[in-house]
Structure 1
Amino acid sequence: MFKNKLVNIMLIIIIALTLVGVITLVLFNHFTSEPDPDREPTIDEIIAQSYVSDEIMTNLLSNDFVRTQFHIHVDSRKTLREIEKRDFQIENIILRTLSGKRSPDLAGASGIEELENELRNQINEVLQDGSVVQVYTTSWVIQ
């Protein structure tokens, strides 16, 4: 390149240091960028962070019975692992809550929404790490 070897070595060192600096800056920005906490989760994130309860059938106070199933969306994978370990407590909360209701209390969209909110609050009381974002009713039969 140049006739002077010292200039060639200095240019190579400067280019190498510049490349290392640029790569370091790009990697630093990539790994330290926080995701936007206000953005809506994608469907893949919801599915990956959801616990699916077993189908539960129980009697209601009004001598009817309900058969239902829930998807419980949590805020992190750590919370999902905890809720999977606490599955018996989750089912107990669902059974106790449902058995204390009458069929008119559960009728319609407002009844289901009220039940989902009540279950979310009760499950959050049990969890030590993280919280339940939303409870989704995926199966629902009252007879």
Structure 2
Amino acid sequence: MKNNKVLIIITVILLVGAAGLLTYDKLGLGKKEAASEEQSIDDVIKLSVDMGEIATNLLDNRYVKISFMVETDSKDAKEELEKRKFQVQNIIITELSDMKSPQLEGKEGKQSFEEAVKSRINEIMQEGEVVKVYITSYIIS
């Protein structure tokens, strides 16, 4: 009789412990939130592709020289983007050829252009996506 009570108590303790662990795991307690963590610069560089310098005419007959770094969300996406570099350069030239220089002026103009390029690149990506497009140099004459 005494052995049965001890066995029941141990079973109840184990069940409560297992339920607690399951709840802890399901709620994600103790896990680091990937979204709230900032990536290190090394991680950003590992997942980024340099698109090089592009020079082209704008719609208002002005000339732009511009360079980009494109950050992806995974190693596979980076590898695909490296293969699609010529397509990305084409996207950038096409977008620029339909713009006038005032559209690229200021912070908002550049951010808007970066978002447009990001969106167009993501349309062709199959192995992940572009997280951010960075303008790394920019000259209009």
Q: Secondary structure at the match of 1:130?
A: coil
Q: Which amino acid aligns with 1:53?
A: M
In the alignment, structure 1 residue 79 sits paired with structure 2 residue 105: no
Q: Which amino acid aligns with 1:130?
A: G
Out of 44, 63, 74, the residue aligned to residue 46 of structure 1 is 44
Q: Secondary structure at the match of 1:46?
A: helix
Q: Secondary structure at the match of 1:63?
A: coil
Q: List per-residue Cα deviations over 1:99-134 (Å, max 9, x = no partner).
A: 110001111111100000000000000101111000
Aligned CA RMSD, in angstroms, stands at 1.4
Query: Take 2:67 and 2:31, find their aligned partners in 1: how far apart are those partners?
Result: 34
Residue number in structure 1 paired with 2:87: 89
Q: Which ranges of 4 or more aligned residues in structure 1 deviate by more than 4 Å?
A: none
Residue number in structure 2 paired with 1:121: 119
- Extract unaligned runs of 5+ from structure 1: 1-32
The percentage of aligned residue pairs carrying the same residue is 41
Query: Take 1:109 and 1:53, find their aligned partners in 2: how far apart are those partners?
Result: 21
1:1-143 correspondence to structure 2 within 5 Å: 36-38=33-35, 39-143=37-141
Query: Take 2:111 and 2:48, find their aligned partners in 1: how far apart are those partners?
Result: 18
Query: Take 1:103 and 1:118, find their aligned partners in 2: how far apart are those partners?
Result: 16
Describe the shift of the 1:89–1:56 C-alpha distance in structure 2 as closer, same or farther (beyond 3 A): same
Q: Which amino acid aligns with 1:46?
A: V
1:37, distance to aligned residue in structure 2 (A): 2.4
Number of equivalent positions:
111
- Extract unaligned runs of 5+ from structure 2: 1-29
TM-score by length of 2: 0.76
1:41, distance to aligned residue in structure 2 (A): 1.2
